[in-house]
Structure 1
Amino acid sequence: MYQKCYKFTVSGTVQGVGFRYFTTMKANELGLLGYVKNLSNGDVEVLASGDKREMEAFECWLEKGPRLANVSKLKKEEADSFSFTDFQIT
């Protein structure tokens, strides 16, 4: 297994539309570990780790987000590995 670890910053209409809930559901479906949280500037931060294929699928999903979201920008940075045992909303 080749684990990838990224921090994503999602901009647009991403708060108040169930973004964190649906992100958690998608991450759990893909078997990813990490967290999702709202930032004070209106963006959403996602830290995720998992296999390369699942991380690619997750990134594609984040580019669109859930139905009520309107993602205008997705920033991705490599992150150091971390020790989460699940995917959670913080």
Structure 2
Amino acid sequence: MGTMIRQHVVVHGMVQGVGFRYSARQQATRLGITGFARNQQDGTVELEIEGGSAAVERMLDWLRSGPRGAVVESVDTSELRPTGDDDFRITF
């Protein structure tokens, strides 16, 4: 599984109103990623993703394109300390 890592992610572009958070949760579940996704008032989607380093990299790759209907312009990331979340949730 590799070292557990956690990333703070902000996805910019047309990423609200296209099912981005729900699709991200499905992808995270497939990859064994925990954390959360939420819409921000500025139109971005903010996530924290935690898992094995390879799984987090695959999740970041997915976030760079998102689901059908999304137009991802950029993805900002920063490292965080893992928290040991046990699921991936959508927060409001």
Question: Counterpart in 1 of 2:22?
Answer: 21
Tell me the residue number matched to 2:59: 58
Q: What is the TM-score when the length of structure 1 is the normalising length? A: 0.96
Structure 2 counterpart of 1:88:
89
1:33 matched residue in structure 2: 34
Deviations 1:6-27 (A, max 9, x none): 0000000000000000000000
Number of corresponding residues? 90
Which aligned runs of 4 or more in structure 1 are off by greater than 6 angstroms?
none
Residue 4 of structure 2 corresponds to 3
TM-score (norm 2): 0.94
Amino acid across the alignment from 1:48: I
**RMSD of the alignment, in Å?**
0.7
